[in-house]
A = this chain, B = another copy of it.
Amino acid sequence: MKVVADLCIVPMGVGPSVSPYVKEIKAIIDASPLQAEMHANGTNIEGELSEICALIEACEARLSEVGVQRVFFTMAFSSRRDKAQTMADKLKAVL
């Protein structure tokens, strides 16, 4: 199932500043073949849901390596069968 997702990863038990951990997450997302765009509250990612979930698991594993024992995630995503729509299409349609 192809989706356009908005992913937010919140390291728990560390911080309050979490930017070192977000940088680790960004490096993993940037290295993935998936189309992704970071914004102030998360990262928009396009791809198969299973690919995005594998990416999430890689991020969680990396956070565990750097000492984060608990992680909270939110993901909003939409699927569409009436027509294909990329992140860029979604923005173009309303700008």
Q: Which of A29-71 contact B (CB under 8 A)?
A: 37-42, 44, 49-50, 53, 56-57, 60-61, 64, 69-71
When distances are taken between beta carbons in the complex, the residues of chain B under 8 Å from A50 are 50, 53
Copies of chain A in the complex: 4
* Chain A 56-95 near chain B by CB (<8 Å), digits 1 or 0: 1100110010000111111111111110000110110111
When distances are taken between beta carbons in the complex, the residues of chain B under 8 Å from A72 are 10, 72, 76-78
Q: A94 CA to B50 CA in the complex, in Å?
A: 26
When distances are taken between beta carbons in the complex, the residues of chain B under 8 Å from A94 are 19, 22-23, 26, 38
Known: A41-B78, A41-B90. 20 other contacts (CB 8 A): A4-B40, A6-B6, A8-B76, A10-B10, A13-B14, A16-B70, A22-B93, A37-B39, A38-B95, A39-B44, A40-B87, A41-B77, A49-B57, A70-B79, A71-B78, A72-B77, A73-B77, A73-B79, A74-B74, A75-B75
